[in-house]
């Protein structure tokens, strides 16, 4: 990049061919003939007998001379020369930016070899401007394509750049501006401003952001012997990911030693998920994870909404893992238990409370989750009578077993999940309004897989490796056409369905390459637009209109991305995201 910009600013690249006349021998008629035949009068350079520049021809002075003396056979006068400075081939046009143009260009022997004109300057400025814009655009694309979160601050600790990954991790909306704000206001527990002050790099440090331990680099930017800024990088989304990678490299400790204490409180539940294991780079998913991390640090009730198979229980487990709760994570699917047994399962019962009651009674899910987390999956299926009892327990924070009069105090964090709209159920009187508001304190929506297709290659690759390892099979690859089919499929079963398909293909595919012909028929024959639901048709129409508008503005501004973004009223990085989405990047 530096070399190209240096070429952009050199006089040699932009000078024009000079028209030279030796001042002591040239007659006025020769000058007049050249003026008549050549519109580029600004290219005429007057030289001495050894081709050194004397200056540029002054046409106004030639005309003034002719108005007094009509004899064009005479040699030209010294007065016709406009004295100017000269510049060398290797000079930069910045060196002559304040000079009157045109000026002669000389070689290393001092002889005229060209002329630098106003046209030369305009062309040089134009290419330099386009080059800088181009490289800025390339930098934006690289930054926003990186899996690592990247932030750049100036010498005052003011944010100058922050890529999409970092913004998504922090849960910042695309419209929320961070450029120009103090890094301490935006990034929790940051030390980037300290790195600028000290000039000392900090690599592989642990930083807690939203309650999660991150591996970060902080690198000072030096220029001319002083620190002018710093770069911060999120290398791993959580220290466990780093240890997993190290573990893959050899027989190394797979659990970070500084997390032993945190793990010990869930030692009886070793298979609980953490946020690091919820894969995907989609902005909506990252926003949901960010909101869930913030919720984990509180005691607030959480409502997880999303289609079946999107990973609601994974989110619930991750919230529990990040919380300070020492008790167990207890899960119950409200739809899987018959209505007459649900109360006993939730609240427990005493011995002899009813026919068939176990000897010694039974501890309910609420009591089992005391000082921990209770996950109520498919809460929308809970019968109305049970909803009333659940509401009472949530408000009184105590439970009474069936057949008992003893009140057991509860210190339980409740996380509920639904794949239906509870708001619609409330309006149809199928769900209690008071319970809805009691549960819906922090609502986290989990995006369906069809709306985060960019994550499909990452997810599919992960599960293929996982199942190959579990089955003792060499890792299989997937060809481009098969992946295109997977990305075009609507995935009604979401990640649960993708997981099943990955395992099926690992087991049944012969050879090391998964091809299009290996895919199930409904995936192989699936083309996303053919789904033709009203929702998708409207979305497709909107996307087509948006694409046409962007193309129109690009053409209007001759491909200039900055001007196009300004005309559309969006940030340049947002424009690049759209260009990439619509395959308009060139």
Whether 140 contacts 167, CB under 8 Å: no
**386 and 471 part of one domain:** no
Please indicate, yes or no, whether residues 458 and 388 belong to a single structural domain of this protein.
no
Pick from 70-74, 75-79, 127-131: least confident = 70-74
> 182 and 319 in one domain?
no
Question: 221 and 284: one domain?
Answer: no
Query: Is it the case that residue 259 has pLDDT exceeding 60?
Result: no
Domain boundary among 398, 416, 445: 445
Taking only the tens place, the pLDDT of each residue in 499-513 is 999 999 999 998 889
Alpha helices in 348-421 (DSSP H): 365-368, 384-396
CATH number of the domain enclosing 576 = 1.10.10
Per-residue confidence band for 579, with pLDDT thresholds at 50, 70 and 90: confident
Q: Are residues 435 and 474 in the same domain?
A: no
Residue 265, in any domain of the structure: no
- pLDDT, greater one: 361 or 15: 15
Asked if residue 232 is part of any domain, the answer here is yes
Let me know whether 536 and 499 are in one domain.
no
- Position 538 scores a pLDDT of 55
CA 317-496-284 angle, 5° bins:
65
Give the lowest-confidence range in 7-21, 38-52, 170-184, 239-253: 239-253
Task: Give the model confidence (pLDDT) of 360-370 as tens digits.
Answer: 678 889 999 99
Same domain? 435 vs 304: yes
Residue 489 CB-half CA count within 13 A: 25
pLDDT at position 356: 62
Residues 118, 136: Cα–Cα separation, whole Å: 27
Give a yes or no: residue 226 inside a domain.
yes
In whole numbers, what is the pLDDT of the chain averaged over residues?
81
Q: Report d(CA 408, CA 393) in Å as an integer.
A: 10
**Residue 55 belongs to a domain with what CATH number?**
3.10.580.10
User: Could you read off the pLDDT of 429-448 as tens digits, one per residue?
Assistant: 999 999 999 999 999 999 99
Domain count, the chain: 5
- Please calculate the CA angle 479-489-141 and round it to the nearest 5 degrees: 65
- How far is Cα 238 from Cα 129, in angstroms, rounded to an integer? 41
Contacts of 77 (CB under 8 A, 6+ apart): 65
525 and 379 share one domain: no
Q: Determine contact, residues 448/310, Cβ cutoff 8 Å.
A: yes
Task: Quote the domain boundaries for residue 511.
Answer: 449-530
- Asked if residue 537 has pLDDT above 90, the reply is no
Q: Name the strand (E) or helix (H) holding 197.
A: helix 192-198
Q: Which residues share a beta bridge with 418? A: 305
Is the domain of 289 the same as that of 366?
A: yes
Both 44 and 183 in one domain: the answer is no
- 80 confidence band (pLDDT: 50, 70, 90): confident
Report the CATH number at residue 198: 3.30.450.20
496 assigned to some structural domain = yes
Assess if residue 247 is contained within a domain.
Answer: no
Residue 261 covered by a domain: no
Q: Cα–Cα distance between 507 and 467 in angstroms, integer?
A: 8
Per-residue confidence (pLDDT) for residue 187, from 0 to 100: 92
Is 316 found in the same domain as 208?
no
Rounded to an integer, what is the distance from CA 451 to the centroid of its chain?
16
Helices and strands counted in the chain (H then E): 24, 23
- Of 495, 511, 530, the last residue of a domain is 530
Same domain, yes or no: 297 and 438: yes
Residue where a domain stops, chosen among 199, 215, 241? 241
- Tell me, yes or no, whether 250 lies in a domain: no
- CATH number of the domain enclosing 484: 1.10.8.60
pTM beyond 0.85, yes or no: no
Model confidence at 29, in pLDDT bands (50, 70, 90)?
confident
User: Residue 497: its pLDDT value, please?
Assistant: 95
Is there a domain that residue 305 lies in? Answer: yes
In sequence order, the β-bridge partners of residue 2 are: none
């Amino acid at each position: 990049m530096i070399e190209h910009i240096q070429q952009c600013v050199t006089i040699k690249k932009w000078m024009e061919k000079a028209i030279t006349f030796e001042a002591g021998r040239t007659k006025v008629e020769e000058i007049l003939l050249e003026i008549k035949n050549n519109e580029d009068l600004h290219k005429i350079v007057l030289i001495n007998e050894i081709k050194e520049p004397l200056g540029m021809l002054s046409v106004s002075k030639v005309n003034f001379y002719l108005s007094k003396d009509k004899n064009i056979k005479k040699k030209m006068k010294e007065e016709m020369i406009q004295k100017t400075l000269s510049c060398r081939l290797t000079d930069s046009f910045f060196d002559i930016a304040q000079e009157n143009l045109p000026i002669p260009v000389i070689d290393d022997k001092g002889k005229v070899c060209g002329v630098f004109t106003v046209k030369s300057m305009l062309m040089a400025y134009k290419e330099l401007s386009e080059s800088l814009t181009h490289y800025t655009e390339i930098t934006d694309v690289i930054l926003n394509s990186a899996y690592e979160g990247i932030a750049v601050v100036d010498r005052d600790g003011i944010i100058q750049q922050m890529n999409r990954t970092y913004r998504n991790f922090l849960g910042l909306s695309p419209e929320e501006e961070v450029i120009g704000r103090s890094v301490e206001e935006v990034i929790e527990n940051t030390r980037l401003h300290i790195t600028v002050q000290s000039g000392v790099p900090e690599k592989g440090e642990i930083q807690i952001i939203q309650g999660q331990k991150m591996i970060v680099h902080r690198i000072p930017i030096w220029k001319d012997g002083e620190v002018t800024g710093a770069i911060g990088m999120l290398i791993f989304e959580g220290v466990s990911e780093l240890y997993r990678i190290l573990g893959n490299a050899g027989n190394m400790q797979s659990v970070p030693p500084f997390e032993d204490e945190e793990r010990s409180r869930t030692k009886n539940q070793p298979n609980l998920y953490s946020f690091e294991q919820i894969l995907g780079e989609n902005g909506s998913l990252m926003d949901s994870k960010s909101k869930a991390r913030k919720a984990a640090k509180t005691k607030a009730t959480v409502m997880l909404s999303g289609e079946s198979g999107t990973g609601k229980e994974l989110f619930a487990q991750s919230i529990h893992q990040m919380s300070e709760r020492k008790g167990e994570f207890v899960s119950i699917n409200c739809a899987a238990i018959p209505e007459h047994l649900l109360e006993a399962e939730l609240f427990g019962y005493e011995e002899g409370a009813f026919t068939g009651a176990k000897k010694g009674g039974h501890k309910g899910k609420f009591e089992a989750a005391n000082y921990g987390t209770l996950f109520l999956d498919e809460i929308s299926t809970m019968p109305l009578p049970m909803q009333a009892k659940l509401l009472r327990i949530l408000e009184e924070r105590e439970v009474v077993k069936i057949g008992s009069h003893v009140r057991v105090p509860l210190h339980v964090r409740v996380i509920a999940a639904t794949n239906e709209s509870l708001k619609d159920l409330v309006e149809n009187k199928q769900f209690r309004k008071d319970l809805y508001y009691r549960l819906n304190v922090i609502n986290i929506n989990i995006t369906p897989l069809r709306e985060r297709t960019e994550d499909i290659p990452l997810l599919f690759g992960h599960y293929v490796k996982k199942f190959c390892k579990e089955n003792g099979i060499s890792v299989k690859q997937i060809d481009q056409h098969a992946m295109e089919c997977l990305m075009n499929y609507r995935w009604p079963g979401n990640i649960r369905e993708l997981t099943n398909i990955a395992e099926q293909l690992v087991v049944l595919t012969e050879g090391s390459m998964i091809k299009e012909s290996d895919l199930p028929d409904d995936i192989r024959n699936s083309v996303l637009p053919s789904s033709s639901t009203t929702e998708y048709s409207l979305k497709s129409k909107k996307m087509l209109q948006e694409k046409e508008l962007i193309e129109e503005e690009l053409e209007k501004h001759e491909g200039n991305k900055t001007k196009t973004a300004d005309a559309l009223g969006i940030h340049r990085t947002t424009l690049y995201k759209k260009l990439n989405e619509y395959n308009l990047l060139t």
